[in-house]
A and B are shown apart, each in its own frame.
Chain A
Amino acid sequence: METINFLITGVGGQGTVLASEIMAAVGLAAGYDVKKSDLLGLSVRGGAVLGHVRWGETVYSPIVPEGRVDYLVAFEQLEALRHLGQVKSSGTILVNQQKIYPVLVSSGLAEYPSDEVIETSLNRTAKAIYKIPAVDLALGIGNSKVLNIVLLGALSSLFDIEAAVWEKVLEERVPKKFTELNIQAFREGRNWMKGK
């Protein structure tokens, strides 16, 4: 079987690291060999973050090889654009409809790409694009912080792995008092995809 390659992009503080941890653990629970790699360090200071997750029969490199991303899971729109070149033409893009201005933009030194540029760039990259209002969905259940789990819920609907497997991993990885909120967030994302 072909290895399934995920690239997770976003901004420090959005919960991408937990998301990639959960994705890797789910892959392992589903019987795959799994590798994962996060770029840490400076990136936590409001910088861009990048995570690689791979599921397969035997996975060698922990980094998704250039140009071979099957699923781009972007937590922020600008960070989605930055990595489009890595996505296969048969790939899928899930993008959170959030914009976080880098300091260069907020201080007026650079422009954030227009909605038109974002739209055309995404469309010419892949056929399957899901624009997910993860912040709104998370706020809908009372906490914007779980936007990462909402996105995982959405992603989960694209695989034949039972929701229970994801939810069990989720329970193991989040603090007990937030279990219910996170499960709710996961289901919120998964349900949103049903309409698509």
Chain B
Amino acid sequence: MKKLMTGNEALARGAYEAGVKAATGYPGTPSSEILENIVQYKEIYAEWSTNEKTATEAAIGAAYAGRRAITTMKQVGMNVAADAFFFAVYTGMRAGLMIIVADDPGMFSSQNEQDNRHYAPFAKMPMLEPADSQEAKDFVKIAMEMSEEWDVPVLYRTCMRVAHSASPVELGERNWDDEKIPEKWVRNQEKYVCSAMFAQKKRPMIEERLIKLVETSNKIAINRLEWGDRKLGIIASGPVYHYAREIFPDATFLKLGMTYPLPEGLIRELAAGVEKVMVIEELDPFIEQQVKAMGIDCIGKDIFPRYGELLTGDIEKACAKAGIIPWEKVAEQRALTPQGLPGRSPVLCPGCPHRSTFFNLAKIKDLIIVSDIGCYNLGALAPFHATDFMGSMGAGFGVAHGFEIGGIEKTGQKIIGIVGDSTFFHNGVTPLLNMVHNGSNVTLMVLDNSTTAMTGHQDHPGTENTLEGKGKRVDIEKLVRAIGVEHVLKANAFDVKSVDAAIKEGLNHEGLSFIIVEGPCFFVGKNTKPAFTVTQDCNGCGTCFKLGCSAIARSEIVDEKTGRKKSSIDPVLCVGCTICAQVCPRKAIVSTQAA
């Protein structure tokens, strides 16, 4: 009996079946559900770590201890983790280790688009890429065995379409002795101490290993030649294989599950057996360049785009343009959608604690707002437009300091750096240390909503719980004071005036000031109160629209004096957070309980 599973569910199941004992990670779309699913398997220890580097180090250590281990991250998390897995390629481990990265072609929820396949040759480790849920599960076991056979971490590269799509999966069992204690550790400095003198000795072995792995890549069952029509031989991996199969059901395919090192023998066999080789791959010409370096001519990025997803329609159009398939076969979108439809971009939810901060910040002139990654980045959008920058985790503090040392304050502009609570722990503490030590004079804010909200409400060091249960909560204020910040201010996110006062005081203070705005994410607090309503005193001034709350709308009732349409509140959407009532100049918004 097959079970319908998403790629992330199947990957978690694969970890269970493959005897994984430790799983770490930092949340990030589209990878977050891997650990959220792993936690249901009691045999596996699972944790949300503080960031991807910490998570990777923990997984490496668990594999040193002798436990099969995995670590998960989204595509940009790979950059944070890189420092750790590069050394693990040199040390090897005592048990299998998988570095799982979920790429995001098309940038559905990422600040950049990066092709993490490059990390395989960069760090010199083998790489597997599943194409669907069945492979997402099965490849875990293959990766673990490969990791142990070659004493090297295996890069497992998935992507959004595998992670968040579902297809039928044949399940297996976990044949593993979970009670077994790891073997005692024996000191082995040549293997595990990465000082130059030891690492230099290993360096040739790392190259030799990659050469030998080419033979594995030629023989492994997940790299297969599917002979068909001999006119075209297509090389594809991951979900792109399925998109391409849809268009070329009868062509010859080299379907790759292991994409580094490439199976040179199979590629040469394919080239010798078909008239023309075509590489279809999303993002960079990773496979294509290697195929060309083998002296094999192929069609590739000369016809396919180098960015964005390469879905069936994209492949079809590129092939039609190049004369490979007739245009009649291409089903394009019909021009039926009316022009100028209003967009539906994400907004801060009704009851969101970030609303008061951005309402206040939007009013301040000559302020450079250096923001960061999380729901609060929605402060960049209408109606607030209240940020100047967003780049990477922790950069809300790090770049704020950079504006300062760049001397921007000489223009009369002030600087405020903003990060969320999970972001603060992830990579905000080190720039804060840097600023305290170097005598910074900017204002910093942590918007503490007690969760990692954007990725689906995961816990972090500032929350009471861990992924598996109760944990110890790290107090942001105590930490900040211990680091040496003297001017620490606190504000209640659901009290607009207190947020306003804290921001003003922080900006007027000479020296570093640190504001903690506290208020739980609505989905953590679930503090629904009776809805608010608009009374007849409303004159349509529009102040409440500046809150960007989806529960507030312009009604059809026109105020006689001003001629403006009055506001209205949707009683189903409103959760009674009171923010709009606080900012209404005419006190025309009241609780339905009071009305």
Which of A35, A87, A124 has a CB less than 8 Å from the CB of B167? Answer: A35
Whether B336 and A62, one on each chain, are in contact in the complex, defined by CB atoms closer than 8 angstroms, is: no
Residues of A within 8 A of B332 (CB): 66-67
Q: Residue among B243, B313, B335, B545 with the most chain A CB within 10 A?
A: B313
Which of B335, B336, B338, B565 has a CB less than 8 Å from the CB of A113? Answer: B338
Cα separation A83 to B334 with both chains bound (whole Å): 10
- How many chain-A residues does the 8 Å CB contact rule pick out? 60
Residues of A within 8 A of B193 (CB): none
Cα separation A79 to B342 with both chains bound (whole Å): 10
Whether A104 and B382, one on each chain, are in contact in the complex, defined by CB atoms closer than 8 angstroms, is: yes
Residues of B within 8 A of A37 (CB): 161, 164-166
Shortest beta-carbon distance from B373 to chain A in Å: 12
- How many chain-B residues does the 8 Å CB contact rule pick out? 55
Residues of B within 8 A of A79 (CB): 344
Cα separation A78 to B347 with both chains bound (whole Å): 17
Which DSSP category, helix, strand, loop or mixed, fits chain A's interface?
mixed
B535 CB within 8 Å of chain A: no
Whether A81 and B4, one on each chain, are in contact in the complex, defined by CB atoms closer than 8 angstroms, is: no
Whether A81 and B341, one on each chain, are in contact in the complex, defined by CB atoms closer than 8 angstroms, is: yes
Whether A82 and B337, one on each chain, are in contact in the complex, defined by CB atoms closer than 8 angstroms, is: yes
Shortest beta-carbon distance from B440 to chain A in Å: 32
Which of B333, B334, B338, B542 has a CB less than 8 Å from the CB of A81? Answer: B338
Shortest beta-carbon distance from B564 to chain A in Å: 10
B378 CB within 8 Å of chain A: yes
A35-68: which have CB < 8 Å to B? 35-48, 59-63, 65-68
Chain B residue nearest to A111 in the complex (CB): B342
Which DSSP category, helix, strand, loop or mixed, fits chain B's interface?
loop
Cα separation A12 to B336 with both chains bound (whole Å): 24
Chain B residue nearest to A121 in the complex (CB): B338
Residues of B within 8 A of A104 (CB): 342-345, 382
Whether B554 and A106, one on each chain, are in contact in the complex, defined by CB atoms closer than 8 angstroms, is: yes
Which of B161, B331, B552, B572 has a CB less than 8 Å from the CB of A66? Answer: B331
A112 CB within 8 Å of chain B: yes
Whether A41 and B548, one on each chain, are in contact in the complex, defined by CB atoms closer than 8 angstroms, is: no
Whether A67 and B331, one on each chain, are in contact in the complex, defined by CB atoms closer than 8 angstroms, is: yes
Which of B246, B336, B565 has a CB less than 8 Å from the CB of A121? Answer: B336
Q: Known: A61-B239, A112-B342. Is A66-B312 also a contact (CB below 8 A)?
A: yes
Whether A102 and B167, one on each chain, are in contact in the complex, defined by CB atoms closer than 8 angstroms, is: no
B288 CB within 8 Å of chain A: no
Shortest beta-carbon distance from A118 to chain B in Å: 9
Whether B165 and A45, one on each chain, are in contact in the complex, defined by CB atoms closer than 8 angstroms, is: no
Cα separation A48 to B334 with both chains bound (whole Å): 21
Could you list 14 A-B pairs, sorted by A, with CB under 8 Å? A28-B168, A33-B168, A40-B164, A42-B346, A45-B349, A46-B349, A60-B243, A61-B312, A65-B316, A102-B344, A103-B347, A103-B550, A107-B553, A108-B565
* Extra 4 A-B pairs, beta carbons < 8 Å, given A45-B375, A47-B347, A61-B243: A41-B455, A63-B165, A67-B313, A102-B344
Taking Cβ atoms with an 8 Å cutoff, the residues of A that contact B are 11-12, 21, 24-25, 28, 33-48, 59-63, 65-68, 78-79, 81-89, 101-113, 117, 121, 124-125, 144
Shortest 4 CB-CB contacts between residues of A and residues of B:
A66-B313, A62-B165, A106-B553, A85-B333
